[in-house]
Amino acid sequence: MKIFFLAISIIIMVLFFSSVQSQSLGQLTLPPLSTPPPPVQLALPPLSPPPAEMAEPIPETQPNAVPTEKIVFSQEVDSNVFLIRAVNINTFESEKLPISAHQYATTMWEPCWSPDGKKLAYVLWYITGEIYLINIDDQTSIRVTENDFDDKNPAWSPDGERIAFSTNRDGNYEIYLMDTEGGNPVRLTQNDTDDGEPCWSPDGTKIAFASHRDGNNDIFTMNVDGSNCRNLTRNPADDTDPAWSPDGERIAFSSNRNGNYEIYLMDIKGNNQQNLTHNPGDDSEPCWSPDGKHILFTSNRSGTHNLFLLKLGQEYAEPFFPKGYMAQVEYFLKYLSDTAQPDDTVPNVILTFQQILTSATNLITQLTTYQLEFIEKPKYLITWQADWVRVKE
C-alpha cells in the first residue's frame, strides 16, 4: 500500500514538471505582489448543545446483533439424580447456575424460563416437590412454595407476573396460579381427577393443560380465571404435554394414539391434528423455538431419553447436542473469517496468532465437553424436559 502511494506521487510530480518545462521561461509570468487586505473579523455564535429533537440517541444494541437464545433442561448426573443445565444456543456454552452441593442428593427438573430469560422456575424433589426460582443475574435461588404436598409443572405467564402450576394439596392434582414470590395462590380447576402440565397462550388470556376428567388424558384449554374449559383432543388415547406456539395459532402435544408416543400438532380449536415425528421410539415434551420454526422434544429413539430438534416441514428430527457439537466448529470457522488480517508489523501478527490459538483451544475444550457429556454419556444418562427462550436485553 505504501509503494502504491509513492508511485502515484512520483507520477504527479513528473506530469507537473513536464508541463512547466514545455513553456519557455519568458512566457512564465508571476502575479504582482500586493499588500494583503486586512483580516476580516468573523463573529461566531457561542457554542451550545444541539436541540433535544436533533440529538441522535446512541443505540443500546447493535442493529445487526444476533439475539441471545438459551435452552434449559434436566439431566441425569447419577442414578435417579437430576440437575438442571442451561446452554446458550448462539455459542453452545453452558450457563452458570447457582446449584449448591446439597442439591446433588436431590432431583431438579421441569425447568421453565421467565419471559425475559433472566429467571428460572424449577421443581426440586426431595420428599415432596417444591417450586424454586433462580435469578440468573445475581445467582440467587429462592423457594416459592412450602408445604407437605407436591407442587410441580411451573409455567411462567407471558407478562412475567404469575406462575401457573399443579399441586395435590387438595387431594388430587389441580391447576393453581400464584405470584412469582409464591403469594396469592388461586385454584383454577375444580374436579375429582388430575389436572396438570399448564401452558400459557402467548397473549396471556388462556391456559392449555392435560386432564384425566373424561376418563383418559386429553388436552384442554380454559380462561385464566378457570372458566370456559374445553376438551380439544377427545381421543381415547393418552394426550399430554401441551405447548402453545409463539404465534398463538397452534398447540403441540404428545400422544400414544398410534401405539407409541409421538409429537402432534393441532390448531387452537383442536382441528387439523397431525403426527409430526413418525418414529418407533417415544417422543414427548415438545417446546417451541422463539421464532416458531422448530420444536425441541424428548425422545428415547437413541436408546435413552435425549433431546431432538425438528424443523417444521422437515421429515426427520436431528439429535440436538451433536448439532451443537458441529455448531462449535462452524462458530470457530466464522471467527477465522471475521478475524482482521494483520498488517506488516510483527506485534500485530503475533497478537492475531494468539487470538486464533486461544479460540482453537476453546473449541477443543467445548468439543471434548460435548463429546463426554452429550454424545457418550447419553448412552446411559437421561436428558429431557427442555424449555427455550429468547433473552430480552
* pLDDT reported for residue 3: 45
Question: Who contacts 170 (Cβ-Cβ below 8 Å, separation ≥6)?
Answer: 187
Exposed e or buried b for every residue in 317-356, given b needs 16+ CB within 10 A? bebbbbebbebbeebbeeeeeeeeeeeeeeeeeeeeeeee
Cα(78)–Cα(372) distance, integer angstroms = 15
Across the strands, what pairs with 36? none
The pair phi, psi for residue 178, each rounded to 5°, is -150, 165
- The CA-to-CA distance between both ends of the chain, in Å, stands at 42
* pLDDT reported for residue 182: 94
**In the chain, which stretches have pLDDT less than 50?**
1-63, 344, 370-372, 375, 377-380
* Statement: the pTM of the whole predicted model exceeds 0.75: no
Report all structural domains of the chain as residue ranges with CATH numbers, in order of start: 69-324+375-390 (2.120.10.30)
**Single-letter amino acid code for the residue at 324:** G
Entry field: residues in the chain: 393
Strand, helix or coil for residue 40: coil
Exposed e or buried b for every residue in 50-81, given b needs 16+ CB within 10 A? eeeeeeeeeeeeeeeeeeebbbbbbbbbeeee
* pLDDT reported for residue 54: 41
* pLDDT reported for residue 319: 85
* pLDDT reported for residue 80: 77
**Grid coordinates belonging to 286:** 415438545
Cα(210)–Cα(206) distance, integer angstroms = 14
* pLDDT reported for residue 19: 43
* pLDDT reported for residue 49: 44
Cα 257 from chain centroid (whole Å): 31
**Grid coordinates belonging to 313:** 416441514
**Grid coordinates belonging to 96:** 452458570
Dihedral sign, CA of 290, 294, 299, 303? negative
pLDDT 10s digits, 41-80: 434 344 444 444 444 444 444 445 678 999 999 988 777 7
